[in-house]
Amino acid sequence: MKPDESPAPRPMVQAQGVRKSYGRLEVLKGIDLEVGAGEVVCLIGPSGSGKSTFLRCINHLETIQAGAIRVDGALIGCRAHNGRLYELSESEVCRQRADIGMVFQRFNLFPHMTALQNIVEAPMRVRRQPAEQARRRALELLERVGLLARAHAYPGQLSGGQQQRIAIARALAMQPKLMLFDEPTSALDPELVDEVLAVMRQLAEEGMTMIVVTHEIGFARDVGHRVAFMDGGVIVEQGAPQDILVRPRQDRTRAFLARVIGSRQAPESGPG
């Protein structure tokens, strides 16, 4: 269920005219998106539409060629001076990223570290937290994602769903203002998807600001405050989940949803 209270109107993310190219290939063609504090926005659309690239631009894993992105009022990746924008140093970018949690399709856990060690690493190195404080917080997060008993297991000893829950706990250990999820269930076996979505639902109920790239239409419908459909590097339309998922205005949105929902409802082929 969605939180009972509406999210605060203060914008947490403001993207204005964001463009991103790789050589001659323009992947983002002027993205405008505003996400309020406490809001959950789900990005849907076909592969190659620019959804993941846009997420990576928000925490400056990718450099944009035009436009601006602000998180909690601060320009990401650059600073303004005398009417011009200047690139931040790598250390300044790292400080900005510390406030933005990101969970990828692949779990990206350190294979030589236990679950507990994976979670405490960044708070100790980046936030300079004392080891015992970081450890207490990590154990609380492990309990929160239902994996306290697996604190000393290595990633190779965990299922994909468990690894992804550890990845979420690792991101939360930095106490971020914003969580970005890049198709967090796409690499999981179908029976493991629900355990990850349950953690994300809990975060939404607790008021975490989230931008979620997902093909899980049910999650977008039930948890998202807003859904944005992307295709060809642009946001084709956005609005309340019931409007975009049930009553889309654009033909491109209708065609995409017909393919996605139809493929999931299609019966399995029989033998022969």
Position 261 scores a pLDDT of 80
Token duo for residue 265: 């409802």
Q: Long-range contacts for 91-96 (Cβ within 8 Å, ≥24 apart)?
A: 93/60, 94/126, 96/59, 96/60, 96/71
The DSSP element (H or E) to which 30 belongs, if any, is strand 25-36
What are the mean pLDDT values of the chain's consecutive 10-residue runs (272 residues total)?
A: 56 97 96 97 96 96 94 91 83 90 92 97 94 97 96 97 96 97 93 94 96 95 97 97 96 94 53 40
DSSP conformational letter for 245: I
Rounded (5°) CA angle 40-46-48: 105
Position 78 scores a pLDDT of 87
pTM, 2 dp: 0.90
Token duo for residue 243: 């409007």
Position 81 scores a pLDDT of 80
Residue 140 neighbours by CB distance under 10 Å: 14
Distance (Å, rounded) from C-alpha 93 to C-alpha 88? 6
Position 71 scores a pLDDT of 96
Position 90 scores a pLDDT of 87
Q: Where are the alpha helices (DSSP H) in the chain?
A: 51-58, 90-97, 115-125, 131-144, 160-172, 190-205, 217-223, 241, 251-265
Residue for token pair 């409802």: 265
Query: What's the Cα-to-Cα distance from 101 to each of 27, 177, 243, rounded to whole Å?
Result: 23, 8, 29
Residue 194 neighbours by CB distance under 10 Å: 14
